[in-house]
Structure 1
């Protein structure tokens, strides 16, 4: 009964996370995190879970090493608020993985997992149809908009590429069930239709990386399927090979024709020679070279992508918050240690999955004479889906999105316990691994619940403050920011936004050295910088406050810190020019403004830029000369 309750909570958590946890921030993932924590905690209450097949101890050990290593590095990262995002997603993946390996090891629960993914597919494609109708920014939640690129469906996801990553994993699990699982004709027709719909949906995301991943997954699925047929039904091999090639060719033609015009245009606009990813990858490699073994810390590419901006990036390109390559991001954030942990994780799980296929063909099939098996279907699907998502990860950052990260953990869980039974050789046991796995499940579940309580409520208030700002309701914004600061005093963004809110409401009376409002702004910005000293915008806002308080030396020091963090950006150079401009040091102001015009990263058109500020300074100088009168 306890195990069933844990599984119900687990499936509900996957459903909620698949609908809401579809962007890189944690705001909408907190409900799913709470449910995952509750599921893991309930499962821990039943110390001896009923596991129907023996899991691989090597896979469990590799997973514990990977999770423990990354969580330790995250805990020691320079900016805890950034590390929290990686840590919570990793904890959620660990709980998902352990429950998949243990409590959900029976085939009927595994079928429920696939059905749940297919329900999410239906929801995502339904949302995609809304986007296709022309409402590209439609979001499931009121008052929120999806930051969409017209012409690309996103489903529940903020980024179309991440929808494609989710669809590829669900597609290959469904394809495995279709080809090797049990079921009647109606079920198989529905699965075939679902696979086609998911492939079309992937093409409508117009994600080139996802299409490369789809090709890799199809190749792995074809090789594994043909090997199984050769081992078990050799008389059908050549017929299936010919039919498979024809279907692949036909499917490729259909997928190309669905989006031929848009794909051509996007390929012409974004060839690899001018794709901004190349510049972002250069920044990630540069950051990795600074701390090659342990990396800069969890999500510290937020800082490295700005400080080490590549000259390849065009001046209009926004800040690269992610490396758009999960492997380079892993090296930049966690170093070679993280890369080796990932390699061990993948090697053990892929090896265990391939070992299951070998065992099935050479032992299980010989004893039973049956090929159709749900365990076999999900193993083939998991290996193919893993190949697709790993290939796609070379171009995207979907493992930093809870919904797709949890789906990846589900695939690994299926491979860690694919369904070995009555093996001729006993399963290798590693002392203490299963005990550590049980303890890890309880600890990770408690950590998820604690994180949701300590940080999730503050996130909610911060989101309400953003909505109030959009409504131009500044009193409500400040009220929500005060509440967020009380609930989560470890979030630097709360104090930064509260300082900006007060700066936006300054009156002429408040712009004096003795202003209590300005002094509170300084306190908030100093708190934000103590929590995250790597955010150059925090330094620039503090410089503005110091200038207003007639503390020019401290303002200059803050600007110089910002220049170290963003040496190639217009914004800190512009701030330096404005600082000298305020002090009436015209020559230094002119030099700074002209220097800002040479920056690699220019401000957006809707923000203050160096040219407008330079022209304003020239007008001020001309006005001063005209009012000074002729010299005697």
Structure 2
């Protein structure tokens, strides 16, 4: 059963690495189901064969962090948002636990490493397709990669996340290249892949990934040289000199090859004008509302709108994420979440460093061999963890399944790096091991049931969006109906169906008792109930209420939208349209002009305040020209 669990585990990693590359769960569900099966089989097996003792301190901090995030997600204001964090967390827990326990055997860890290298090759191939000019290529048929041209993305929708994945796997490969067991052919292939990944990170033009890569490389070099100093001191100065020469020449070559590419990135998006600083202010503003436990899982989706900085460019899109995982943690989970995260990182980093010290002081003296896969993976995981933490200052890669599961894998390698013998007695915490197994079972059941209860609804919503793009109104309607049937608690499906029904109504059909209007109003009211923090839901419901002559209720929804999106043209313009419909032209004019002063304008080509304001002036002119009625 343990072998069966590990086969499902490897397949889950593979599917997630290919498909779980977006912030939404749509393509993560196949990998989630496979990981759930792996965790369930491991839970039923209960007593797994573990070759080396894991650190109970690492397990304890991980249990505390996972338990807190899961409970906070369960109590979050918007269940649909919390679901995204909860399922990625469950997948990460299964990966972490199986890496610590069942996959502690060297051959299974090599198999995991092989899966990661396979994903690297796949990302490189897709990156070459992007580089050839097909920038929107997506591995899933009928879907396009929504990314700007000029930056490769591999399987990932966001090039920055590809850079994060490459930088993590790169250091595992570097550790294996320097200290792992294998022949010359294998080491040459690893060297080629390492260079390819470095070029790939440069082609993503992710400055955060490059910064993390540089700092991770510095730590890797220091630790590797420290190991050589402790074990093979006669080689230290030669390796130090050769390493410096290779680093300088390699850095110069990489810079020269990618100089024009990176300069173009700096011209189009200069660091001096980076909008992240303004986004970080919004995250801190949301954090101030609930500093200890945060606003709830992924509540920055709406917090980035409500607390948007006035200094952002008027046509800048919504941030949705804080572009800083630590500030995102503060905004969503508060100080409690951030402190627990720091404890997890410190415990695992300390355990990894302790293993390196134990290896050089005890294991090497017993065997006289420096080549060890355990040492290679531990050293690589420490450097990868460092690069990952640095990159997280500028990005949100841990809201995407594939990088998060890779990070969980790194933590698992550090929690059980391969201590053996009696030289080191680790602290035992028996209740912690029981809690890890209970959490493994719960996470596995969640991952198995999620695709059925939520994944099918996500699938139908995506199909409806494709049908809308193809102008197939009937297919769109059918898919939205199926999405709501599969998950009645999905606010996005309710909102899209209500909006679609409103769009089908002709002017003469917008009467209070029209059945389609009633159905649209019910959907939109339910969407607002399920997610009262989304201003577009409130605006759509206000439109439906106006069509039913429920003007006071419409005004209440408009005021709600103005609170949720105080700087946005859309919410101000909706208020103006409301007064315009009621014939209160003075209030409408004031609201239209107020919309013109908005700090967050609608996109070009969409409905704008000036167009509606001109229509108001035409209506007033026609009224003045009309003869007075008796």
TM-score exceeds 0.5: yes
CA 627–347 in structure 1, closer or farther in 2 if over 3 Å, else same: same
Q: C-alpha deviations, 1:543-586, integer Å up to 9, x for none?
A: 11111112221111111110010001100100011111111111
Deviation at 1:509, TM superposition (A): 3.9
Deviation at 1:208, TM superposition (A): 0.5
How far apart in 1 are the matches of 2:269 and 2:606?
26
Deviation at 1:290, TM superposition (A): 1.1
Q: Which residue of 2 aligns with 1:451?
A: 450
1:287-326 aligned at under 5 Å gives the runs 287-326=286-325
Q: Which residue of 1 aligns with 2:105?
A: 106
How far apart in 2 are the matches of 1:304 and 1:202?
31
1:178-257 aligned at under 5 Å gives the runs 178-257=177-256
Deviation at 1:495, TM superposition (A): 0.6
How far apart in 2 are the matches of 1:615 and 1:249?
63
Contact 1:75 1:83 in 2 (8 A): yes
Q: Which residue of 1 aligns with 2:75?
A: 76
Q: Does residue 407 in structure 1 map to residue 387 in structure 2?
A: no
Partner SS, residue 466 of structure 1: helix
How far apart in 2 are the matches of 1:391 and 1:628?
72
Contact 2:136 2:147 in 1 (8 A): yes
Contact 1:542 1:555 in 2 (8 A): yes
Q: Which residue of 2 aligns with 1:520?
A: 519
Q: TM-score, normalised by structure 1?
A: 0.98
Partner SS, residue 104 of structure 1: helix
Q: Does residue 360 in structure 1 map to residue 381 in structure 2?
A: no
Q: C-alpha deviations, 1:28-74, integer Å up to 9, x for none?
A: 00000000000000111212111111100000111111100000001
How far apart in 1 are the matches of 2:267 and 2:8?
47
Q: TM-score, normalised by structure 2?
A: 0.99
Q: Which residue of 1 aligns with 2:529?
A: 530
How far apart in 1 are the matches of 2:602 and 2:286?
24
Q: C-alpha deviations, 1:289-308, integer Å up to 9, x for none?
A: 11110000000001111000
Deviation at 1:268, TM superposition (A): 3.5
How far apart in 1 are the matches of 2:275 and 2:545?
37
Contact 1:382 1:415 in 2 (8 A): yes
Unaligned runs of 5+ in 2: none
Contact 1:173 1:382 in 2 (8 A): yes
Q: C-alpha deviations, 1:509-563, integer Å up to 9, x for none?
A: 4211221111111110110011000010011001111111122211111111100
Q: Which residue of 1 aligns with 2:3?
A: 4
Partner SS, residue 104 of structure 2: coil
Deviation at 1:121, TM superposition (A): 0.4
Deviation at 1:258, TM superposition (A): 2.4
Deviation at 1:434, TM superposition (A): 1.3
How far apart in 1 are the matches of 2:501 and 2:288?
40
Q: C-alpha deviations, 1:257-303, integer Å up to 9, x for none?
A: 22212311322343333111111000001111111100000000011
Q: Which residue of 2 aligns with 1:426?
A: 425
Q: Which residue of 1 aligns with 2:561?
A: 562
Q: Which residue of 2 aligns with 1:370?
A: 369
1:488-527 aligned at under 5 Å gives the runs 488-527=487-526
How far apart in 2 are the matches of 1:505 and 1:26?
30
How far apart in 1 are the matches of 2:237 and 2:285?
50
Deviation at 1:619, TM superposition (A): 1.4
Q: Which residue of 2 aligns with 1:261?
A: 260
Q: Which residue of 1 aligns with 2:388?
A: 389
Q: Does residue 167 in structure 1 map to residue 166 in structure 2?
A: yes
Deviation at 1:323, TM superposition (A): 0.4
Contact 1:498 1:524 in 2 (8 A): yes
Deviation at 1:507, TM superposition (A): 2.4
Q: Which residue of 2 aligns with 1:127?
A: 126
Q: Does residue 460 in structure 1 map to residue 459 in structure 2?
A: yes
Deviation at 1:231, TM superposition (A): 0.4
Contact 1:278 1:312 in 2 (8 A): no
How far apart in 2 are the matches of 1:10 and 1:355?
28
Contact 2:569 2:602 in 1 (8 A): yes
How far apart in 2 are the matches of 1:606 and 1:91?
41
Partner SS, residue 102 of structure 2: coil
Q: Which residue of 2 aligns with 1:32?
A: 31
How far apart in 2 are the matches of 1:363 and 1:423?
10
Partner SS, residue 317 of structure 1: coil
Deviation at 1:311, TM superposition (A): 1.7
Q: Which residue of 2 aligns with 1:439?
A: 438
Deviation at 1:148, TM superposition (A): 1.5
How far apart in 2 are the matches of 1:311 and 1:262?
32
Contact 1:203 1:258 in 2 (8 A): no
Q: Which residue of 1 aligns with 2:340?
A: 341
Contact 2:203 2:261 in 1 (8 A): no
Contact 2:129 2:135 in 1 (8 A): yes
Q: C-alpha deviations, 1:429-470, integer Å up to 9, x for none?
A: 112111211221111101111222211111111111111111
How far apart in 1 are the matches of 2:269 and 2:494?
39
Deviation at 1:248, TM superposition (A): 1.2
Q: Name the stretch that deviates more: 509-518 or 568-577.
A: 509-518
Q: Which residue of 2 aligns with 1:271?
A: 270
Deviation at 1:351, TM superposition (A): 0.3
How far apart in 1 are the matches of 2:424 and 2:54?
14
Q: Which residue of 2 aligns with 1:417?
A: 416
Deviation at 1:188, TM superposition (A): 0.6
Q: Which residue of 1 aligns with 2:592?
A: 593
Contact 2:310 2:567 in 1 (8 A): no
Partner SS, residue 144 of structure 1: coil
Partner SS, residue 85 of structure 1: helix
- CA-based RMSD of the aligned residues comes to 1.2
Deviation at 1:626, TM superposition (A): 1.9
Q: C-alpha deviations, 1:327-360, integer Å up to 9, x for none?
A: 0000000000000110110010000000000000
Deviation at 1:423, TM superposition (A): 3.3
Q: Name the stretch that deviates more: 60-69 or 271-280.
A: 271-280
